[in-house]
Structure 1
Amino acid sequence: MSTTIVDAAFRSRLTQVIHSFGSVVSLATAVGVSDNAIYKWLSGRGQPSVANLVALARAGRVSVEWLATGAEAAQSAQAITRSVEHGDFIFMPRSRIRFSSGREGILRSEQVVDSIAFRAEWVKRTLNAEPRDLILIEVVGDSMAPTVKDSDLILANLAEPRFRQDGIYLLRHDGGLAVKRIQRRPDGKLLVRSDNPKYEAMVVPNVKIIGRVIWIGGRV
């Protein structure tokens, strides 16, 4: 691997992944290396092997390409949306999905706005999910109204990246992200549709699922 992997830009991306875990020790444990190894990478005195680079990317929920080269910058946002657990509460960064005009809920930019606290016991028992697997998003748009309205919040479980049952999912579509309902038709094909009837449903042969939406919150 080229020694350019330890340049300043790489160290900056590695720092983002570390921040998502809260500490070097936590990241080292997830990757399976010593904390000294990560400190060496941060200082530029060493470089991760291919295997460790892949492990870093998986732990940070980013692509290997982005971590190594900075490409696919849109995916890097996943590295900074990890929750932080403190005492009885989980502080979940709130990301805002903005929609380009004329599109049906496609992500064009993402901004971390603030953090919202959830009770850890409620997340684990009621939602039956691990906080580290969740992403909190403020939806901007009407494609899923009235189920998910403009400015509503959703929690998506990234540990469910495949279709298992009819429901609402976070998808990668047309170079961005979309929140859509997926249903299995009698012929076995998957129907991707918006709850807002003004948007047409689509039969998609290969649905790229990021996670399943397990909670919706908003104004009555």
Structure 2
Amino acid sequence: MSTTVVDAAFRARLTQVIQSFGSVVTLATVVGVSDNAIYKWLWGRGQPSVGNLVALARAARVSVEWLATGSEPAQGAHAVTRAVEHGDFIFMPRNSIRFSSGRDGILRSEQVVDSIAFRADWVKRALHTESRDLILIEVIGDSMAPTVEDSDLILANLAEPRFRQDGIYLLRHDGGLAVKRIQRRPDGKMLVRSDNPKYEAMVVSNVKIIGRVIWIGGCV
């Protein structure tokens, strides 16, 4: 029996795994192989051994059968699109969110551009949450300036998909995503506003919250 797996369909599934980790470098680090090894598999110039196939499946939280044959859905694929823990660090894929006109705060395109490492103990101690509930986003636009400047990074806690207190939230709005400040008015309605005074606030009865922004970092 062959101890290798390589075909176009496998390379497509491998590409899906790489995208979920954000980069080849991050995946190689977690699996424990070289970047070149993964590139060879991706380009069809090399073949992963059964041992490496198992290591890839464990890292991606998918079944070996799905990775090798595609016969099962990649049930765990979405679990690693946000963060991957390895040793003392959490690798956060950085999602670049670009706004239409660069100003209005609505998501028009999204791309994982790289990964940034955070210390796992800091995430639990300072943010009081689990890495699986976090998404790291590079915000491009000025609607939340000066609180969130162009190219700043934010961490949103996806375990808080509802309003609990006044603050900055990641919202689903107008067919996309937006980073906005939400305040509850005395009449029970929500005031959704930008910190940049150039943009008008909205008063709504309800809002579709994706998560609460719990950390803001400057451009890196």
TM-score, with structure 2 as normaliser: 0.70
The one-letter amino acid of 2:65's match is: K
CA distance in structure 2 between the aligned counterparts of 1:45 and 1:108, rounded to whole angstroms? 31
Other-structure match for 2:190: 190
Q: Cα deviations across residues 80-114 of structure 1 (Å, max 9, x unaligned)? A: 63212222221111111111117611111112121
1:195–1:41 Cα change, 3 Å: same
Contact 2:14–2:67 (8 Å) recurs in 1: no
1:39 is aligned to 2:72: no
Say if 1:138 and 1:153, in contact at 8 Å, map to a contact too. yes
Query: Does residue 207 of structure 1 match 2:189?
Result: no
Work out the CA distance in 2 between the residues paired with 1:153 and 1:203. 27
Q: Residues 26 and 117 (structure 1 numbering): CA distance in 2 closer, same or farther, change over 3 Å?
A: closer
Q: Unaligned stretches of 5+ in structure 1?
A: 1-7, 29-34, 62-78
Deviation at 1:126, TM superposition (A): 0.7
Q: Please give the alpha-carbon distance, in whole angstroms, between the structure 2 residues aligned to 1:118 and 1:138.
A: 15
> What are the superposed Cα offsets for residues 132-182 of structure 1, whole Å, 9 maximum, x if unpaired?
111111110010011101111100111111111111000111111100001
Q: Which protein is bigger by CA-based radius of gyration?
A: 2
Percent identity of equivalent pairs: 73
Output the TM-score relative to the length of structure 1.
Answer: 0.70
Partner residue, 1:165: 165
1:171 and 1:151 map into 2 onto residues whose CA distance is 18
Gaps of 5+ in 2: 1-8, 22-26, 31-55
Residue 116 (structure 2) aligns with? 116
SS at match of 1:114: strand
* CA 1:88–1:46: 2 relative to 1, 3 Å: closer
* Distance 1:60-1:125 versus aligned 2 partners, 3 A rule: same
Per the alignment, in what secondary structure is the counterpart of residue 216 of structure 1? strand
